[in-house]
Structure formats: C-alpha cells, structure tokens
Amino acid sequence: MTSCSSLGIGLAGFGTVGSGVWNTLQRNSDLITRRTGGGVSLYIAKILVRDLAKVRSTTSEVDSEIFTTDWKSLVADPSVEIVVELIGGTSDAFEIVVAALRARKPVVTGNKALLAERGVELFAISKEMDTPIHFEAAVAGGIPIIRTVQDSFIGNQIHSFTGIINGTSNFILGRMTDGGLTFEVALAEAQALGYAEADPALDVNGWDAAHKAILLATLAYGFPIDPAAVHVSGIEQVRPADISFAKKLGYVVKLLAVIREHEDRSVELRVQPSFIAKSNILASVHGVFNAVAVHSDTAGESLFYGRGAGQDPTASSVVADLVEAARFLGSASGHRGFLPYRDSGRILPVGETTTAYYVRFDVIDRPGVIAEIAKVLADHRIGISGTHSPVDPANPDAEFVDMVFMLHSCPFGELQIALTVIETLDCINSAPVVFRIENY
C-alpha cells in the first residue's frame, strides 16, 4: 500500500480479547502506521455486544454510539471494511463470518472450534469470494505459528508438529507436579486465577487442543479433516500417583498434540496425556505457556514458545491479522489466507498408531493379579517393560490398589483389544487408564 488507507473495523465481541484489541489499537495505531510505511491506519467503527446497558456502565472510554446488538447491522455498515469475530461458538459466529465473506469483507477470527468444525464450508466461501479468513489467534495465542506455516514454511515439507497448545491443562498438570495437588484442587486453583473457565470442559477434555491441532494439520497437509477422525483424551483421569510414578522414571506428564505425516501420506493426529522425558525441551514448558515443535525437511527442527492465551498475547495476533487483511484490501494480487491444495487425505486410524504405554489398573489386592494381566498381554504379543504396585501408606490394608504396567511399543489397536479382555477379569475393578510414552 503506497498511501495511507484508514480502515474501519467491525468488532464482533468485546470481552477479554475484544477489549484487548481495542486497547492495542488505541495504544499502537501510530506505530502500526509507521511500520507499514504509512500504508495502514486502523480504527474500530462498530462493536457488537450482547448487552448494551452492561457495556455502557462499564466502558466509559469507548463512544457508546458505536455499540450494537445486531450483527447484521455491523456487517452491513459501510464504514466496516474488516470484520473481527470474537464471540465464540459455532452458530452465530458462523453466520457472521459467512455474511462478511459474502460482502467481500476480510474476516479475522480467533475461533478455533468454528474453523475446526465448519472450516470446510467457510474456506470454500472464502475461495469463492476471493476474500480471506485470517486466524492467527485461533492457535497458541500470541505465538505466530499460523503465519509461519503459511509463509515461512511454504517451501518445506512438514513432517510433524508436537505441541503443548492448551495453557489451562498445562497449568493444572504443572500444579499437580510441583505442588502435589489433586486434579480437582489444581482445577479450582486455575479457575480462581482466571486460567480456566467456569465450565472448563473443552480445556481439560482435550478438545480445545484438538481444534487447534486440526487447524495446524489442515494448513500443513492441505485437506479438510473431520473432527470425528481425531483421537482425543483429556487430563481428567490424571492422578497424583501417575505424576509421582512419572517423576521416578525421569518423565513428566503433559497434554500433547501430536501431528505426524507418514510415508504413505496418511496423517497421524491425536491429543492425549503423555509421558515425556524430563530432558525433552517440551518438559520445561510451565504454567499457561504453549510450545510447538515443528520438524520439516528444509528448516529442520524449530520451536515456537510463548503465552498461549490471555488478553494481550491473543490481541497481538488479532491485530497482526488486521494489518494483513488491510494489506489485502490495498492489493490486487489476491489473498494469502487459507489455501487448500488437496481435495482429500487420510487420517491414520488411532488403532494403527504405535508408541510405548503406561497403563494403570485398579485391581483387587490378591496374589496372582500380575500373572493374570501379563498372560492376556502376552497372548496379544504385547511386551512388558516393568510393573509396579505402590502401597498407599494411609491405607495399607485397602481391598483395591493401583497396579501399573509399563508396556513396549505396539499398535494402539492391539492394546485396546487386550484391555477389553483384561477388563473382564474378576480382579479388575474399573476401566484401565492409558497414557502414551513419547520418545523423541
């Protein structure tokens, strides 16, 4: 852009991130204009909220005239040239994004659930209207991983991503590790500090991370991915005993997103609690921070680290996308949003994925239990690297105890079949708990 263009932003949502975008533009608009050679000047023209009375009573620095509760008026407003969707969910947000694209107004969103679940439809409309969707804020907060994959790695074949991409789960597991807390106590602490929502389901059940992983995989490998094909397991079943056992073996427990392309071009995509060695760089990612390790053929190993959530880091990504969208409006060269390049691909069934495993059984404390479980595993050709049954000093005479098996690498499907048989044994009190052991 050779001359300064003052562009109006329609901001759908004025919560934590939306107000952060407002603050960033108020604080750094001149800096943005200077850094773009005088080419970009951004201002908020319209803000969509649910409750006008509430906003007007708490937000005195914003002109009340620019607020609206009607998303259609926001999209249709001629002063709005770029639409930012930050309301969340997949219903109203979908309608807003579709309307903006149909009006040929670039969209910026941080809504990973929307893109993971309805991205196929939205990106098709984006392509049809030649109008981009930018979504840097949807993955890993302030870490510029989306733009890196789209731009910096455009000449690389990406072999894999391995990442910690949910800060809430990482904080909870960290407090369980460092403070010896139970899952429930660590979750309550995360909620009290504002790191977890009142309903933390998507964070702790793994689906927040899975939505982000789907976006990364779609960008890297170029085909739409059905969320139903992704194996997702959360951290709800992690106990202090698991954390303690991992420590003794030189591991830490992290919620990992693993994306890996195989030689036949199938893509392994899963999210689950995993044991990783303390020496691995991802083991040192603490608190609400995120990190994504990328392995590609030309750039080799790269690591991206930073705050995965929060007002300012996420607002930073939104504003960067706003500048990119503004550049699109000032150029006739076409947009650099998502560009799919394969009609279809194969997600590797989770049963065909292979790692070593940590399996915890809740068993009746009696002689012969280890032999009963070991026989079933042997019948399915699954090797055992070690067993352990820690005694609870507070209850040494308990009828039921935890029995831990460390298993050699095998296809996950074979393990699932064996565990189905083991669950029928009369010494088993509840369903086994399985963690992956990732060796890099």
Residues serving a catalytic function are 212
Q: How many CB atoms lie within 10 A of CB 376?
A: 18
Read off the tokens for 223: 């085909």
CB 142 within 8 A of CB 317: yes
Read off the tokens for 282: 């991802």
Measured CA to CA in angstroms, residue 437 lies from 32, 255, 273, 280, 294 at distances of 45, 12, 9, 12, 19
Residue 272's beta-bridge partner residues?
Answer: 256
Q: How far apart are CA 191 and CA 200, in angstroms?
A: 8
Residue 234's beta-bridge partner residues?
Answer: none
CB 251 within 8 A of CB 173: no
Q: How far apart are CA 267 and CA 289, in angstroms?
A: 26
CB 348 within 8 A of CB 419: no
Q: How far apart are CA 75 and CA 96, in angstroms?
A: 7
Q: How far apart are CA 386 and CA 357, in angstroms?
A: 11
Q: How many residues does the chain have?
A: 440
Read off the tokens for 165: 């991409």
Of 415, 321, 287, nearest to 110 by C-alpha is 321
